[in-house]
Structure 1
Amino acid sequence: MSTPTSPMAHIPSTFHLASIEEDEPGAKWQALFDAHWPPYQTWFLSEGERARPGYMTSLRNLRAYMPELLSTYDKLVDLAGGGDLAARFLSFYRPPPYLLGCSQAVWAGPEPALIRNYDYSPILFEWALLKTRWLRPVIAISDCLWGVLDGINDAGLAVSLAFGGRKTTGDGFGVPLVLRYILETCDNVREACFVLRRVPVHMTYNLTLLDRAGIFVTAYLAPDRKPRFVRSPVSTNHQDRIEWPAYARMSASIERRAFLEERLADPSETESRFVNRFLEPPIHRIRYERAFGTLYTAVYRPTEARVEYHWPGHRVLQQSFASFEEGLETIHLGEATIGKVGVGHF
């Protein structure tokens, strides 16, 4: 997630994606918390401590909307030291606002796939891929230490998120925790849609969901509107219309969506070529100085319960429930600088 604005700082050219397997929260998760808690704490308090809900409010809402997660939440809070601030942060109820990019699409067919680019600042990313068995087996890219940017569970349900292109905020949860809840408790798209109808989110998001039966949906979520579910295989960073023109121009949301829709409508397009589109302009982005560069391309394959991670000019990292290898994957994104981008604020 985002942290407050910072002065000019150099972005390293090399990063390491850590693949971590830990069935129950333990020493490995605690090490992840220790490494990332200082910048998360700064971000969490960026609008002042009183702007964030208190512990009892956070706990009450978590119990009301996602009670199945309470046991795991309690374990994580204990590993984080049991402090009030960490407990409030880990509830992920009404966190500060943040921005991110992302392009998402479903390749339909006998072997459907959910393909997505995650566009963000590399120095604000956790660089952690977790395989867990908290309520069930889940493989997911981590965010906010137990939330999910995209992932898949053992039933073959895959989901990913993108910012929805509106400034509006409200009462609700940060969507990465909602994605975690979906993967921990749902078997298919239908069940996930029931969750999204009742769990409030604090910002506008676009979710893409795909299950083993090939059922897919794009979910348009917002804190001030009822969720909408559309049979669109593509989503970027707007919903039915452009509601934040400056952001849409900066992110090229319209152009990216139109490009992917055109490729899917082309009868000569192949799956491998379509995946490669995500590694090239205009879908692959290099605007790291604006916290809007592509950090990875993920290809989730529900029928095989596995995922691939791609980078331009790099070998493909493959992980699955049957074969998950812990370790560090060295990623070269190229040299860049980051200025006062304000990614945590509107």
Structure 2
Amino acid sequence: MTQLHKTFRAIDGGDGSDGRWSAHIRTLWPAAEGWLTDDGRTPDGAVRARRMFDEHMPELAPLLDRLAGQLNRPNAETLLAMNAIRPFFSGCTQTGGNGRLLRNYDFPLAQCEGTIVRSDFLRPVIGMQEGGWGLLDGMNDAGLAVSLTFGGRMTQGPGFAIVIVLRYLLETCDTVTEAVERLRTIPVMVPQNVTLVDAERATTVYVGPDIELTEAPDACAANHQHLPVSDEDERGSRTQERLAAIRESGADVSAMLRPPLYRPGFDEGWGTVYTADYQPGEGQVTYHWPGQVWEQSFDRFTSGTRSIAFGNQ
């Protein structure tokens, strides 16, 4: 068995004005800038991107200016608007209930940023960062937690990358109900499943460029939205198998670290990069890998690094 390694980082980005956040993002900039579409690199495309951002996320507009100014890089404002970027398609399985959100994030290992960020932009937020200030999953100080999975259809339309949508929800919403209503108004560029949890409610909703927001039968999600799933898609993603497994196991971390929920096969390009166990009412999250854990919370956030070994089998 070949061993792969990845270094995960935890940083406190503060309110984005003192250079801590931007110093980290500058190290990622060449790769991050590659996310931009050709249109996003044009003056007209930049204007359109900013107009869409101001229309749908006006509360974050001053923050966008602050962060782009801190970066001081060409195209920073357009990239951070995250509506003129190339789509990405993740795996993932997740479930919510009883004030807890549990998820596996499946993706090519080398392409995942792997940065846990505590920020105080509009309010305290902790989450796994992607795309500069987007979030793959996270929680806020009001006790709301959210996470994403790809919805399974290779459809694309005008809209935002889901990672900035999750950031927006956590910065501006206190409850699941409030966040779901906000989601109805935001265009999303590819089909996504979003699981949301607070002390009173847990749900998964389906969103995408070709559908109205639809609530799932329960707060579980893998990588499809509506049945049937073709035999070819199931062989590639095992989405129905994983959804059945997480419904059976419930909020069981040990099950998340075993197949079929845990996907070790990075020799095929994809695998489980991390497991996150959010308890937002306690302001606490624990990241799991086989044999390792990393706890973070609003009360005790610890910056640093962890080197994780992955079996490539």
Q: TM-score, normalised by structure 2?
A: 0.93
Consecutive unaligned residues in structure 2, runs of 5 or more: none
TM-align CA RMSD: 2.0
For residue 278 of structure 2, what is the aligned residue in structure 1? 300
Q: What pairs up with 1:20-31 in 2 under 5 angstroms?
A: 20-25=11-16, 26-31=18-23
Q: Which runs of 5+ in 1 are unaligned?
A: 1-10, 265-270, 337-346
- Counterparts of 2:51 and 2:183, CA distance in 1: 19
Q: CA deviation at 1:246?
A: 3.4
Residue number among 268, 275, 295 corresponding to 2:253 in the alignment: 275
How many Å separate the matches in 1 of 2:120 and 2:40?
Answer: 33
Q: State the identity as a percent.
A: 37
Q: Deviations over 1:204-257 (max 9, x none)?
A: 0000000122x0110100112111123412100001214665343211101100
Say whether the 8 Å CA contact 2:6–2:308 is kept in structure 1: yes
Larger fraction in strand: 2
Are 2:307 and 1:321 equivalent residues in the alignment?
Answer: no
Task: State how far apart, in whole Å, the 1-side matches of 2:60 and 2:253 are.
Answer: 34
* Of 234, 239, 242, the match for 1:248: 234
In the comparison of the two structures, how many residue pairs are matched? 311
**2:264 counterpart of 1:286:** yes
Q: Please tell me whether the aligned partners of residues 165 and 244 of structure 1 are also in contact (alpha carbons under 8 angstroms).
A: no
Q: Deviations over 1:180-221 (max 9, x none)?
A: 0000000000110111100110000000000122x0110100
Tell me how far apart the structure 1 counterparts of residues 229 and 76 of structure 2 sit (CA, whole Å): 34
Query: What residue number does 2:144 align with?
Result: 157
- The one of 215, 219, 230 equivalent to 1:229 is 215
- Preserved CA contact (<8 Å) 1:165 1:242: no
Cα distance in 2, alignment partners of residues 12 and 24 from structure 1: 37
Alignment of 1:1-346 (within 5 A): 13-25=4-16, 26-45=18-37, 54-83=45-74, 85-106=75-96, 108-109=97-98, 112-213=99-200, 215-242=201-228, 246-264=232-250, 271=251, 274-314=252-292, 316-335=293-312
Q: 1: distance between equivalents of 2:117 and 2:230?
A: 34
Distance 2:181 2:208 in 1: 15
Say which SS state the counterpart of residue 77 (structure 2) adopts: helix
Aligned-pair distance for 1:57? Answer: 0.5
- Give the 3 Å change call, closer, same or farther, for CA 276–149 of structure 1 in structure 2: same
Q: How much has 1:310 moved relative to structure 2?
A: 0.6
Counterpart of 1:99 in structure 2: which amino acid? F
Structure 1 length-normalised TM: 0.85
- Residue pair 1:216, 1:233 contacting (<8 A) in 2 also: yes
Asked if 2 retains the 8 angstrom alpha-carbon contact of 1:115 and 1:297, the reply is: yes
How far apart are the structure 2 equivalents of 1:251 and 1:286? 13
Query: Closer, same or farther in 2 for the Cα pair 1:255/1:86, shift >3 Å?
Result: same
